[in-house]
Amino acid sequence: MPYFVRPSVNLNTEEKEVAYSLAHAAIAATVGGEDNEVMKMATVNSLLKTYLPYYYWVGFYLVHGQRQLIVGPYQGTLGCLYIDFGRGVCGAVAASERTKIVADTHVLEEGKEHIACDPNSRSEIVLPVHRADGSLLGVFDVDSTEEASFDAVDQRWLEQILRDTFAV
Ligand code: SME
Protein backbone atom coordinates (compact mmCIF):
# COMPACT_ATOMS: atom_id res chain seq x y z
CA MET A 1 0.00 0.00 0.00
CA PRO A 2 1.44 3.42 -0.89
CA TYR A 3 3.22 4.99 2.07
CA PHE A 4 0.93 8.03 2.11
CA VAL A 5 -2.34 6.08 2.42
CA ARG A 6 -3.37 4.33 5.65
CA PRO A 7 -5.53 1.16 5.79
CA SER A 8 -9.15 1.73 6.85
CA VAL A 9 -10.31 1.41 10.47
CA ASN A 10 -14.03 0.63 10.81
CA LEU A 11 -16.27 2.42 13.33
CA ASN A 12 -19.36 1.17 15.15
CA THR A 13 -22.70 2.98 14.93
CA GLU A 14 -22.15 5.19 17.99
CA GLU A 15 -18.67 6.21 16.82
CA LYS A 16 -20.02 6.95 13.33
CA GLU A 17 -22.76 9.24 14.73
CA VAL A 18 -20.19 11.28 16.67
CA ALA A 19 -17.74 11.47 13.75
CA TYR A 20 -20.36 12.49 11.18
CA SER A 21 -21.85 15.08 13.54
CA LEU A 22 -18.42 16.69 13.93
CA ALA A 23 -17.68 16.48 10.19
CA HIS A 24 -21.08 17.94 9.25
CA ALA A 25 -20.56 20.89 11.61
CA ALA A 26 -17.02 21.50 10.32
CA ILE A 27 -18.17 21.42 6.67
CA ALA A 28 -21.03 23.84 7.37
CA ALA A 29 -18.73 26.19 9.29
CA THR A 30 -16.12 26.13 6.50
CA VAL A 31 -18.13 26.33 3.25
CA GLY A 32 -21.62 27.25 4.40
CA GLY A 33 -22.79 30.10 2.11
CA GLU A 34 -20.05 29.46 -0.49
CA ASP A 35 -20.98 29.02 -4.19
CA ASN A 36 -17.82 27.54 -5.73
CA GLU A 37 -18.41 23.82 -6.35
CA VAL A 38 -14.71 22.91 -6.59
CA MET A 39 -14.01 24.60 -3.27
CA LYS A 40 -16.90 22.74 -1.66
CA MET A 41 -15.91 19.35 -3.10
CA ALA A 42 -12.30 19.74 -1.97
CA THR A 43 -13.42 20.73 1.53
CA VAL A 44 -15.94 17.89 1.85
CA ASN A 45 -13.23 15.39 0.86
CA SER A 46 -10.71 16.79 3.33
CA LEU A 47 -13.01 17.04 6.35
CA LEU A 48 -14.73 13.68 5.88
CA LYS A 49 -11.36 11.97 5.49
CA THR A 50 -10.21 13.74 8.65
CA TYR A 51 -13.10 12.49 10.82
CA LEU A 52 -13.84 9.03 9.32
CA PRO A 53 -10.85 6.61 9.66
CA TYR A 54 -12.29 4.08 7.20
CA TYR A 55 -12.33 6.59 4.30
CA TYR A 56 -9.48 5.25 2.13
CA TRP A 57 -10.44 6.91 -1.20
CA VAL A 58 -12.93 9.78 -1.22
CA GLY A 59 -13.93 11.97 -4.12
CA PHE A 60 -16.29 13.14 -6.80
CA TYR A 61 -16.95 12.04 -10.36
CA LEU A 62 -18.58 14.80 -12.40
CA VAL A 63 -21.14 14.53 -15.22
CA HIS A 64 -19.33 15.11 -18.54
CA GLY A 65 -21.54 15.34 -21.62
CA GLN A 66 -24.59 13.09 -21.84
CA ARG A 67 -23.41 9.70 -20.60
CA GLN A 68 -19.93 9.99 -19.04
CA LEU A 69 -18.31 10.87 -15.74
CA ILE A 70 -14.86 12.42 -15.32
CA VAL A 71 -12.83 12.40 -12.14
CA GLY A 72 -13.22 15.50 -9.97
CA PRO A 73 -11.61 16.55 -6.69
CA TYR A 74 -10.51 13.54 -4.61
CA GLN A 75 -8.13 12.29 -1.94
CA GLY A 76 -6.41 8.92 -2.23
CA THR A 77 -4.54 6.81 -4.77
CA LEU A 78 -4.90 7.42 -8.51
CA GLY A 79 -8.56 7.43 -9.58
CA CYS A 80 -9.81 6.40 -13.03
CA LEU A 81 -10.20 9.46 -15.29
CA TYR A 82 -13.39 8.47 -17.19
CA ILE A 83 -16.37 6.28 -16.29
CA ASP A 84 -19.33 5.69 -18.62
CA PHE A 85 -22.84 5.87 -17.19
CA GLY A 86 -23.98 2.38 -16.30
CA ARG A 87 -20.43 1.03 -15.81
CA GLY A 88 -19.01 0.30 -12.38
CA VAL A 89 -20.67 1.42 -9.15
CA CYS A 90 -20.26 5.10 -10.00
CA GLY A 91 -21.71 4.71 -13.46
CA ALA A 92 -24.67 2.76 -12.08
CA VAL A 93 -25.41 5.48 -9.51
CA ALA A 94 -25.08 8.22 -12.13
CA ALA A 95 -27.64 6.38 -14.27
CA SER A 96 -30.08 5.54 -11.44
CA GLU A 97 -29.45 8.63 -9.26
CA ARG A 98 -29.84 6.36 -6.23
CA THR A 99 -27.29 5.65 -3.47
CA LYS A 100 -25.50 2.27 -3.67
CA ILE A 101 -23.67 0.49 -0.85
CA VAL A 102 -21.28 -2.39 -1.67
CA ALA A 103 -20.25 -4.56 1.30
CA ASP A 104 -17.69 -6.55 -0.70
CA THR A 105 -16.49 -5.33 -4.11
CA HIS A 106 -14.95 -8.76 -4.79
CA VAL A 107 -18.40 -10.28 -5.40
CA LEU A 108 -19.10 -7.85 -8.27
CA GLU A 109 -18.17 -8.50 -11.90
CA GLU A 110 -14.91 -6.63 -12.34
CA GLY A 111 -14.90 -4.14 -15.19
CA LYS A 112 -18.68 -4.13 -15.45
CA GLU A 113 -20.34 -3.91 -12.01
CA HIS A 114 -17.19 -2.61 -10.31
CA ILE A 115 -14.11 -0.70 -11.46
CA ALA A 116 -11.08 -1.30 -9.22
CA CYS A 117 -9.08 1.92 -9.58
CA ASP A 118 -7.18 0.61 -6.53
CA PRO A 119 -6.97 -3.15 -5.71
CA ASN A 120 -7.05 -2.28 -2.00
CA SER A 121 -10.68 -1.11 -2.27
CA ARG A 122 -12.96 -3.69 -0.57
CA SER A 123 -16.22 -1.91 0.28
CA GLU A 124 -17.78 1.21 -1.15
CA ILE A 125 -20.61 3.71 -0.98
CA VAL A 126 -21.56 5.93 -3.91
CA LEU A 127 -24.19 8.68 -3.79
CA PRO A 128 -25.68 11.00 -6.42
CA VAL A 129 -24.89 14.70 -5.93
CA HIS A 130 -27.65 17.11 -6.96
CA ARG A 131 -27.61 20.88 -7.29
CA ALA A 132 -30.37 23.15 -5.95
CA ASP A 133 -32.10 23.06 -9.39
CA GLY A 134 -32.19 19.26 -9.25
CA SER A 135 -29.53 18.74 -11.93
CA LEU A 136 -26.99 15.97 -11.38
CA LEU A 137 -23.55 17.41 -10.54
CA GLY A 138 -22.04 13.93 -10.38
CA VAL A 139 -21.50 11.21 -7.80
CA PHE A 140 -19.66 11.05 -4.48
CA ASP A 141 -17.55 7.90 -4.08
CA VAL A 142 -15.98 6.53 -0.88
CA ASP A 143 -13.84 3.37 -0.74
CA SER A 144 -12.62 1.42 2.30
CA THR A 145 -9.95 -1.27 2.46
CA GLU A 146 -12.19 -3.18 4.90
CA GLU A 147 -15.33 -5.19 4.11
CA ALA A 148 -18.75 -3.79 5.10
CA SER A 149 -17.52 -0.37 6.23
CA PHE A 150 -20.67 1.40 5.03
CA ASP A 151 -24.31 1.11 6.11
CA ALA A 152 -27.54 3.11 6.57
CA VAL A 153 -25.83 5.47 9.02
CA ASP A 154 -23.30 6.53 6.36
CA GLN A 155 -26.06 6.85 3.77
CA ARG A 156 -28.23 9.05 6.01
CA TRP A 157 -25.40 11.38 7.02
CA LEU A 158 -23.81 11.63 3.56
CA GLU A 159 -27.15 12.36 1.88
CA GLN A 160 -27.68 15.11 4.48
CA ILE A 161 -24.16 16.56 4.07
CA LEU A 162 -24.33 16.50 0.25
CA ARG A 163 -27.81 18.08 0.28
CA ASP A 164 -26.76 20.80 2.73
CA THR A 165 -23.57 21.56 0.78
CA PHE A 166 -24.54 21.32 -2.90
CA ALA A 167 -28.33 21.59 -3.15
CA VAL A 168 -28.67 24.98 -1.50
N1 SME B 1 -14.93 1.84 -7.73
C2 SME B 1 -15.58 2.81 -8.60
C3 SME B 1 -14.56 3.48 -9.51
C4 SME B 1 -13.94 4.68 -8.94
S5 SME B 1 -12.42 4.23 -8.10
O6 SME B 1 -12.86 3.36 -7.01
C7 SME B 1 -11.91 5.72 -7.38
C8 SME B 1 -16.65 2.13 -9.47
O9 SME B 1 -16.78 0.89 -9.40
O10 SME B 1 -17.35 2.85 -10.19
Q: What is the pLDDT of residues 25-68, one digit of tens each?
A: 999 999 999 999 999 999 999 999 999 999 999 999 999 999 99
Say how many domains are in the chain: 1
- The answer, yes or no, to whether any atom of ligand 1 lies below 6 A from the CB of 40, is no
Flag whether 6 is in a domain. Answer: no
* Residue 8 within a domain: no
Identify whether the C-beta of residue 155 lies closer than 8 Å to the C-beta of residue 127: yes
Q: Is residue 119 part of a domain?
A: yes
DSSP 1: -
What is the β-pairing status of strands 123-130 and 82-84? Answer: unpaired
Position in ligand 1 atom list of the atom nearest CA 114: 9
Burial of 155 (0-12, 13-18, 19+ CB in 10 A): middle
- Ligand 1 lined by 99 (C-beta under 6 Å): no
Integer Cα distance of 124 and 149 in angstroms: 8
Residue 158 lies in a domain: yes
Residue 21 domain boundaries: 13-166
Confirm if 23 and 47 have CB atoms less than 8 A apart.
yes
Element (H, E) at 156: helix 152-166
CA dist 129 and 88 (Å) reads: 17
Tell me: the pLDDT tens digits for 88-102?
Answer: 999 999 999 999 999
d(CA 67, CA 94): 9
pTM above 0.75, yes or no: yes
Q: Is residue 3 part of a domain?
A: no
pLDDT tens-digit readout, 107-159: 999 989 999 888 899 999 999 999 999 999 999 999 999 999 999 999 999 99
- Cβ(143) – ligand 1 distance below 6 Å: yes
% helix, strand, coil for the chain, step of 5: 35, 25, 40
Strand runs labelled E in the chain: 57-64, 68-75, 82-84, 100-102, 123-130, 136-144
Q: Is 2 part of a structural domain of the chain?
A: no
pLDDT score recorded for residue 63: 98
Mutate to test the pocket of ligand 1, among 143, 149, 150 (most ligand atoms within 8 A of CB): 143
CATH number of the CATH domain containing 33: 3.30.450.40
Is position 27 within any domain?
Answer: yes
- pLDDT, residue 6, reads 83
In a domain, 118, yes or no: yes
